[in-house]
Amino acid sequence: MTEKPIVQIKNLSKTIGKKNIIKNLSLDLYKGQITGFLGPNGAGKTTTIRMMVGLMRPTQGEVLIDGQSIQTNFEGSIQKVGVIVENPEMYKYMTGYKNLLHFSRMHKGISKKRIDEVVQQVGMQNRINEKVSSYSLGMRQRLGLAQALLHDPKFLILDEPTNGLDPAGIREFRMYLQKVASENGVAVFVSSHLLSEIELLCDRIAVIQNGELIDIKNVKELNVSRYYIHAEPNELAHEVLSGTGFPVTAHDKGYLIDTQSQHIPGAVNMLVSAGAKIYAVQPHRATLEDQFLEMTGGGQIAETHSK
């Protein structure tokens, strides 16, 4: 991308004792784009996030938010950040609106008009004057999103934001978060262990393992053209498909071949000519979970409180 990133993580490292927790991590985050942050247990996700918001000082490197360093100008840079952690803490005996009014006083210049704007943006107009104790978890998450947006941040960071939500609540939260990213031009950074949700929510993913950033991919790039072909005899099918020059791997009763759709008729003709019997030819879309496990060598997906 040619535009200037909202967030720049530059050569970030963290050493505790003799252990290198984070190793020379660099990543740019852009306005209007949602980036998912994935990693196996103990990969360094939480440590990275803590350094990004100034809760932990890096051993070396820096984090710039809209050009300002979180290390040398904490107050100026953190004003441009909104944070949502799982199950945001709210005053349950107060209404949603009074909660927002209370939190608005922590920042300068937030008007009642601005509160009304964020209420409408997260779709809570009909329930905002009810007590938080009457809200579902999904409603409380949306109120947490409204709170994080009050001061019109340029960067929104979320740690397990849909943890505990039912499928309807997850879809609802996803819709409002994508709306916020698009309409407000906010750079959004989401850490989660729900890979299927990350795939639906995010524009791209960044994968960390053993403290190192091992891959950054646009979600659209994950949809590699791959086809499943079941033909027998199995050994003959493997020999013929391997002769196409495209990558072939065993899958179920047949094989996966990584190629574009226009090459499939040719592969089928080769199988027929060789005397193979064809039982199935169909597109096969690798999930983000499949590719995550491939990238990390089968490492477990990070849990909510992994360090």
Domain of residue 164: give its range. 1-80+153-223+287-307
Model's pTM, two decimal places?
A: 0.75
What is the secondary structure of 258-302 as a DSSP string? Answer: E--GGGHHHHHHHHHHTTPEEEEEEE-PPPHHHHHHHHHTSPPBP
Across-strand partners of 4?
A: none
CATH of the domain at 191: 3.40.50.300
Type of residue found at 46: T
Cβ atoms of 37 and 48 closer than 8 Å = yes
Cβ atoms of 224 and 258 closer than 8 Å = yes
Same domain? For 98 and 230 the reply is no
Structure-block tokens of residue 142: 């949306």
The phi, psi pair for 256, rounded to 5°, reads -100, 135
Residue 6 to residue 186: CA distance in whole angstroms: 8
Same domain? For 70 and 108 the reply is no
User: 300 falls in which pLDDT band (50, 70, 90)?
Assistant: low
At which of 152, 172, 207 does a domain end? 152
Instruction: Give the model's pLDDT for residue 306.
Output: 36
At which of 95, 123, 152 does a domain end? 152
Same domain? For 254 and 279 the reply is yes
Kindly report the number of other CB atoms within 10 A of residue 87's CB atom: 15
Kindly report the number of other CB atoms within 10 A of residue 82's CB atom: 22
User: Which segment of 53-67, 154-168, 212-226, 291-305 scores lowest on mean pLDDT?
Assistant: 291-305
Same domain? For 302 and 259 the reply is no
Cβ atoms of 189 and 206 closer than 8 Å = no
CA quadruple 213, 219, 221, 223: dihedral positive or negative?
positive
Tens of pLDDT, residues 250-278: 988 999 898 888 899 999 999 999 999 99
Same domain? For 277 and 304 the reply is no
Instruction: Give the model's pLDDT for residue 304.
Output: 36
Tens of pLDDT, residues 43-60: 889 899 999 998 899 999
At which of 126, 152, 178 does a domain end? 152
Type of residue found at 150: L
What is the secondary structure of 152-219 as a DSSP string? Answer: --SEEEEESTTTT--HHHHHHHHHHHHHHHHHH--EEEEE-S-HHHHHHH-SEEEEEETTEEEEEEEG
User: 307 falls in which pLDDT band (50, 70, 90)?
Assistant: very low
Say how many domains are in the chain.
Answer: 3
Cα 251 to Cα 181, 184, 231, 235, 240, distances in angstroms = 38, 44, 12, 13, 16
Same domain? For 215 and 306 the reply is yes
Percentage of the chain exceeding pLDDT 70: 90
User: Residue with structure tokens 């409204």?
Assistant: 146
CB neighbour class for 266 (10 Å; exposed up to 12, middle 13-18, buried from 19): exposed
Residue 112 to residue 103: CA distance in whole angstroms: 12
